[in-house]
Amino acid sequence: MNTRGFIFDIKKYSINDGPGIRTTIFFKGCPLKCWWCHNPESQNKLPEEFEGCTFRWNLSYDPGQKNTIGTEVFSHDVMKEIEKDIPFYEESKGGVTFSGGEPMMQMDFLFELLTKSKKKDIRTAVDTTGFTDYQNFERIYELTDLFLYDLKLMNNEEHLLYTGVPNKIIHENLILLSEKGNKIILRIPVIPKITDTNENLDLMINFISELKNVREIDLLPFHKTAESKYEKMGKENKVVQLEPPTNEQMNNIKYRLSSLGHTVKIGG
């Protein structure tokens, strides 16, 4: 099989998308529209044209596509890029991470890349919003060594406001996935005045305490590096007034979540 899919970036030598040194493949398309999204170019599934948007990698290296975000690619070509980094995976116990966007919006493409990676004995991770049918998790479970699972807001109305989708299916999928095995790293974006409130953190701690298996919790501090993307793409930046959390604020949240007994890290 040589399925086609849409990606918008390939990040080499990543150390923030799972254990060790990794190659991260960024899929186009996301069902969420988070106010603080650091990759707004991921949201639409199809390639987009924007003047001067040279901030994303292009698999074809075609200078004529320098203003295009997103490329339609064959799984075979993506695997060639992944396999170039096998020596780094072996030394660091790293591997490949499929991110986005939401990789499970392109299930056949994701399934094929996971299958080919496992045949090469490459460790795999899927970075997911959790907003998908649970059968998709079941389909890729044996091919995936690690799920990097986003947990944002516990209140459904707030989740709907700030991400555009309800959180019921996300929480239900997380419960089921945690019952299936110890493959979950929770990733919590720390967004000032939105996800870092006492109410949200208290509800989150109660929820996580009931999960069967959580390997680690990663706190991802809000940053402003995406501002230029919103400007170039003509998209509204709804959190332009927010400032990144301080080290003290991050450490306080880390301390609170450490009460759960899990390893808690600042950063991915």
CB-CB contact of 209 with 171 (8 Å): no
Beta bridge partners of 26: 9, 99
Query: Is residue 130's pLDDT more than 70?
Result: yes
Mean pLDDT, rounded, for 42-68:
69
Cβ–Cβ < 8 Å for 222, 267: no
Strand spans (E) along 15-166:
22-27, 48-49, 68-69, 71-74, 95-99, 123-128, 146-150
CATH of the domain at 184: 3.20.20.70
27, β-bridge pairs: 7
- Measured CA to CA, the distance from residue 94 to residue 112 in angstroms comes to 20
Q: What is the domain extent for residue 12?
A: 4-266
pTM for the whole structure: 0.94
Q: Tell me the DSSP string of 48-66.
A: EE-TT-TTS--TT--GGGT
Does the pLDDT of residue 59 top 60, yes or no? no
pLDDT at 58 over 90: no
User: For the chain, what is the domain count?
Assistant: 1
- Residues 73-121: pLDDT tens digits? 999 999 999 999 999 999 999 999 999 999 999 999 999 999 999 999 9
Q: Distance of alpha carbon 170 from its chain centroid, rounded? A: 14
Please report the pLDDT score of residue 131 as a whole number.
98
- Whether the pLDDT of residue 50 is over 80: the answer is no
Look over the chain and give the mean of its residue pLDDT values, rounded to a whole number: 93
